[in-house]
Amino acid sequence: MLCFWCCVFYFFFINEKPISCTTLFCASVWTGTLNHESFAVCRYDDTGFKINNVKYEGSLVIVENKIMTWAPKTFSEITAESLSIFKVVHPVPEILILGCGRHIQPVSPELRKFIRSTGMKLEAVDSRNAASTYNILNEEGRPVAAAVLPYGGTC
């Protein structure tokens, strides 16, 4: 089922048939915008992340000053459709840090092609290193995004 805000967003900004909210995110699962200039991933565990001392459960996408819940629970669920938010994000982040869970996973050629088509570079690492890489690049003021599975995420 599609939420109202996803339909409005896709109708006005993308002018396409909306995708499923459960595939990406929607306003009902939007976790917040913090008033800080930048985020820092303080901790991670098997179920989620602590960002600026706020605990978030599950997978997350962090872009600009937004933190959004993200549908994939396992690496095999990560698809171009699950990352389709990056078709409309402007300015486009320079790099997407993909946190694969406990272990680095090989990224499919299709997913690499999609990410390249958005203008971003891809760095796929385990979620522990994704958190620290995101923190460093974000602290430097680089336009960076992260899509991370909890450390307990599996194949």
Domains and CATH numbers, the chain: 30-148 (3.40.1230.10)
Dig out the tokens for 19 from the structure: 């995708």
Of residues 135 and 121, the one with the higher pLDDT is 121
pLDDT attached to residue 56: 86
**64-91: pLDDT as tens digits:** 778 899 999 999 999 999 999 999 999 9
CA nearest 98: which of 140, 126, 136? 126
Tokens at residue 36, please? 């800080």
Residue 131, pLDDT > 70, answer yes
Average pLDDT, the chain: 78
Show Cβ contacts of residue 41 under 8 Å, excluding neighbours closer than 6 positions: 49, 50, 51, 131, 132, 134, 135, 146
* Whole-prediction pTM: 0.73
Tracing tokens 């900004």 back to the chain, one arrives at: 13
Look at 12 and 96; give whichever has higher pLDDT.
Answer: 96
Q: CA 125, CA 135: separation in Å to the nearest integer?
A: 14
Which of the pair, 32 or 154, is modelled with greater confidence? 154
For residues 32 and 63, the answer to whether their CB atoms sit within 8 Å is no
Strand order in the sheet with 60-63: 30-33, 66-69, 60-63, 144-148, 95-99, 121-125
- Are the C-beta atoms of 24 and 2 separated by less than 8 Å? no
Per-residue pLDDT band at 114 (split at 50, 70, 90)? very high
Ranges of H-type helices in the chain: 4-9, 109-117, 127-139
Q: How far apart are CA 9 and CA 5, in angstroms?
A: 6
